[in-house]
A and B are shown apart, each in its own frame.
Chain A
């Protein structure tokens, strides 16, 4: 290979930067990398100096709408929110025992979970760097607790590996790392890396491989205490006369590769899925309820928006009352519209062609979640799994274990499916009963003795069939971003859109909040100019 065409080594890179800009440039580069990990939360918006009496109508009482309303109201605007549902919170939602939910197509589910148990059909976990959401949770008194995202002792299942038998993540990951370390060590021995690294670097890398991959003195990944201390022992260390541990056998590396455990390892490294993650105590909708405590008095419920028009004098919104069918209009100086694009794309507006094209351009994902209430926490009692996820390549995607009230008695609710893509479409097209059957069938692979035996009842949400959302989340791609994103988020005369769809943090609550702050900051500036 032509060495000139290889990627620069670390040393070459830093040398080159040092030559061009000196140590200051190197330092700046490093801090730039550091800053990349920081939040985009600018703090609560400064909306000071609003003109008295100006009004804003907010469409949608999800988190984006309620945050916009809260900050605008606080700044002195006259604010009113129109909401399609009879509840606030939008996709921030939990189902509990006694709840009734009717999806598109007609089926009604009566949730039968025990008191205290809940199911979060939409958002369910919060990255630690979603600082806007954390800020407002604290401000509005919403208690958070850890969400156990990463559990080494949960399972990975693939129909293509180990004859379909699930394996513990830690054993697969340890064997993957151990084998990769050993192979890389061999590459060093065969001088395959000499052109890229100095002898000192190679020594350091060899030491790293031994420590990271749990290799022995001869740079081999073998059965023994070292490998077992990562992958788990056959007989773990004990006390007294029989306390000696017995190491476990290693997996065949070709099966480890077929399990695709590297995809799980990479998933946990994705910055949105790194620990620490949070969840609200008692259900995700505690956040929506926290916001609603601040702005609930401003909300008109059961209002189906049918028309959004703006002119020189203001904005006119036509809406129908879901119960009586009575049509009304609401007028305001400005409008913050947080209606999902699935719905907004079918509402008559006089927005510009460009903006309407953007509203039409973004498809929504078909997420499905299925919750299963089990008589007891067999995953804890029998499998030593406390929170976290077991992944499968079957359509259910995963089984996720509850992160709260660990080690308690009584029924608990598992997330029995979180499907997207083709699996989401397939499960989403089933009846609620069929979804539960599919979740039981596929999830049994992890806990064959207990899964059906301990099952009490289930509930499911197919986001395509949620009457007020008609889709899970906006899915942008590079092309649609380039062609439509700025048109979608631009403030057009008196109307601005907000929501997760108007952000680069799509499908996260943080995106909806960041979008709302940006939208009302621009709206406020415009209002001051008016």
Chain B
């Protein structure tokens, strides 16, 4: 503590100026979620809240589209684009998922849930 440099605590003070929340948010909690390692992890932790565990989507007042048996999974670039940029009510995941994670989940979707597009997907396919 005694060796803490002036600049170090100046930085701490600047962080006190946290970004305004502007919504009824949980607050500062929840900042350390587990890290999804595989495509299956990413799907389970980020996608299935809306697209469901079986990837068949759901219908309520509107619909979450199915990713199962979905010919659009044949176009890697399309899946990557929608994940990164979002679509309608779906949030953009560019800031939440790394390029590796994005590639892994697209590869997973292309080879599961009745989709069978064997061509691999790598982080280099994902725009930075």
Contacts and interface: CB of A to CB of B under 8 A. Distances in A.
Interface of A: 84, 104-105, 123-125, 158-160, 179-180, 183-184, 187, 190, 192, 252-254, 257, 260, 262-267, 270, 272-273, 304, 339-343, 345-347, 360, 362-366, 389, 391-398, 418-426, 428-429, 462, 464-471, 473, 475, 504, 506-508
A267 B27 contact: yes
18 contacts: A104-B59, A264-B28, A270-B20, A272-B22, A341-B89, A345-B62, A346-B88, A347-B62, A364-B91, A393-B29, A393-B31, A393-B32, A394-B30, A395-B30, A421-B33, A422-B45, A426-B34, A475-B23
A469 B28 CA distance: 25
Nearest to A262: B16
B49 A465 contact: yes
Interface string B47-84: 11110110000111111100000000000000000000
Of A266, A418, A504, the most chain B CB neighbours within 10 A belong to A266
A372 to B, nearest CB: 16
A105 B50 CA distance: 9
B60 to A, nearest CB: 3
A160 B88 CA distance: 36
A469 B47 CA distance: 17
B30 A267 contact: no
A269 to B, nearest CB: 9
Given A345-B89, A397-B26, A422-B96, A470 B21 contact: no
Interface string B87-126: 1111110001000000000000000000000000000000
Given A273-B21, A421-B96, A426-B46, A84 B52 contact: no
Contact of A470 (B1, B61, B87): B61
A260 B27 CA distance: 12
A326 to B, nearest CB: 17
Given A363-B90, A464-B50, A475-B91, A397 B27 contact: yes
A229 to B, nearest CB: 21
A345 B61 CA distance: 11
Given A273-B21, A467-B60, A420 B30 contact: yes
Contacts of A471: 89
Given A429-B44, A470-B62, A159 B49 contact: no
Interface residues of B, number: 49
B23 A465 contact: no
Contacts of A397: 26-27, 29-30
A397 B30 CA distance: 4
A126 B2 CA distance: 43
A391 B63 contact: no
A424 B31 CA distance: 11
Contact of B89 (A105, A260, A470): A470
Contacts of A507: 22-25
